[in-house]
Amino acid sequence: MAKVTPLSGFPEWLPAERRIEQHVMDTFRDVAELHGFSNIETRAVEPLDQLLRKGETSKEVYLISRLQADDEDRDKEGQKLGLHFDLTVPLARYVLEHQNDLAFPFRRYQIQKVWRGERPQDGRFREFYQADIDIIGQDTLPPHMDADVAIVMAEVLGKLPIPGFTISVNNRKLSQGVFEALGLTDIEGVLRQLDKLAKVGEAEVRTLLIEHAGASEEQADGCLAFARIKATHEDLAEKVNALGVSSEAIPHALEELSFVIRTVNASVPGACIADLSIARGLDYYTGTVFETFVEGHEDLGSICSGGRYDTLATDNRHSYPGVGLSIGLSRLVSRLVTRSLATSTRAVPTVALVAVADEEHREASVDVARVLRSRGISAEVAPSAAKFGKQIKYADRRGIPFVFFPSEDGRGEVKDIRSGEQTPADAHTWQPPQDDMTARVVATTSTK
């Protein structure tokens, strides 16, 4: 067979690394369901015209077509399909398609692969998992639900083996109120330029505001002064008012933003701050916007972002406003793995390897494994009746902590190969320590 050449941007984890990925997924799932979110899965493909309706990701969409498709098939608009590049476009279609069967507000979570044809780099892939939570209303959606989704994400991140995190939050209505009070008219243009602050810095953004968003030098300075504000709910209003601008929209937006910060921190103390540099340049956000950074790993960028969008989907009868957050799950797992921030206590789920004295007695070993499994203890039978020393070495290489040696009377002995201790055991009653029952993912001391 020819040498296999890896494909960049399509991660494949080793078993111990995959356990870390599964741990992140399981944590997300458990917390989301604890808060009453239901799981859905949507198809991998959507009509191309729906994927490209914003026109901003056309270079990144992977097309789907049959190898033997004829020209007539290729010309049919309905045959033009693409792999979804996020989970929001499929959610909008799903809500419209199933609106008569859903109860609103609809609380949904989703963990699924998405595809983007971008240049692979640290933390960025062409095929990767996203984990989303959203609350979708029908015609209206109470503003307090902005805090609900942030609390879920804060609890998820608080349970993961990361050094620490900060959920930075802003409100598009506050940004718009301040920028309009400064006399600016191209609000979307201003937001798009401010969204580049972390990448290019203040000096470059100031130039971009003047050249591409119609700002004067004084207005550009006002925008940057606004974007520098970081605050708790207690001093947010004071810092914004110190800018010396006012409008009818600002007080209400300040209250909405303060409520989110106050409510999230009441559940997960210190998780959330106001950071008015958060712009989220996409134009469908209409209120609260979020970005989340891992302490000491800010170079990774935001691992969890989102916000409120009042026009997720509309039809002739209803509109469907929503608020949601998305974790770049593969990006986060990649950092946990490559920087050794987390480790699995073992690569395999097996608790005990049942030894085989000789092939004539393999059935007795199979019976012991069956009894152990019936009691919830993961067990596998040795692949060959090699010398016991070799069977122990096999278990050690696999990371299996115990070897069970059956005896003729149906009992036997079990060996903890880490300590070397060997004790009498009965498959019907033997119980390994609770910490050994499953492979656990734990944080390491590394913060590189």
Distances (CA, A) of 348 to 25, 44, 336, 399, 440: 17, 30, 19, 7, 10
> Cβ(309)–Cβ(320) under 8 Å?
no
Amino acid at the residue 329: L
- The predicted model gives 37-54 an average pLDDT of 90
- Range with the poorest average pLDDT among 67-71, 240-244, 322-326, 427-431: 67-71
Preceding peptide of 383 cis, ω within 30°: no
Q: Which pLDDT score is estimated for 144? A: 95
Amino acid at the residue 324: G
Distance CA 9, CA 7 (A): 6
Nearest to 202 by CA among 226, 178, 233, 180: 226
On the question of pLDDT at 77 being above 70, the answer is no
On the question of pLDDT at 4 being above 90, the answer is no
How would you write 294-320 as a 3-class SS string? Answer: ECCCHHHCCCEEEEEEEEEEECCCCEE
- Range with the poorest average pLDDT among 193-207, 269-283, 337-351: 269-283
Q: Which pLDDT score is estimated for 76? A: 59
Percent of the chain with pLDDT over 70: 94
On the question of pLDDT at 447 being above 50, the answer is no
What are the tokens at 54? 């914003």
pLDDT digit string, tens, across residues 118-156: 889 888 899 999 999 999 999 999 999 999 999 999 999
Task: Give Rg (Cα) of the chain.
Answer: 27
What are the tokens at 132? 């989303």
On the question of pLDDT at 297 being above 60, the answer is yes
What is the average pLDDT value for the chain, to the nearest integer? 92
On the question of pLDDT at 68 being above 90, the answer is no
> What would the DSSP string read from start to end of 132-153?
EEEEE-SS---TTHHHHHHHHH
On the question of pLDDT at 339 being above 90, the answer is yes
Q: Is the pTM of this model over 0.85?
A: yes
What are the tokens at 385? 């009746």
pLDDT digit string, tens, across residues 364-375: 999 999 999 999
Q: Which pLDDT score is estimated for 55? A: 56
Q: Which pLDDT score is estimated for 448? A: 45
DSSP letter (8 states) at residue 435: G
Distances (CA, A) of 427 to 115, 363, 369, 373, 384: 47, 14, 8, 10, 21
- The predicted model gives 423-436 an average pLDDT of 96
- The predicted model gives 197-219 an average pLDDT of 94
Distance CA 146, CA 133 (A): 11
Pairing state of beta strands 304-314 and 319-327?
Answer: antiparallel
On the question of pLDDT at 73 being above 80, the answer is no
Q: Which pLDDT score is estimated for 80? A: 87
Q: Which pLDDT score is estimated for 5? A: 83
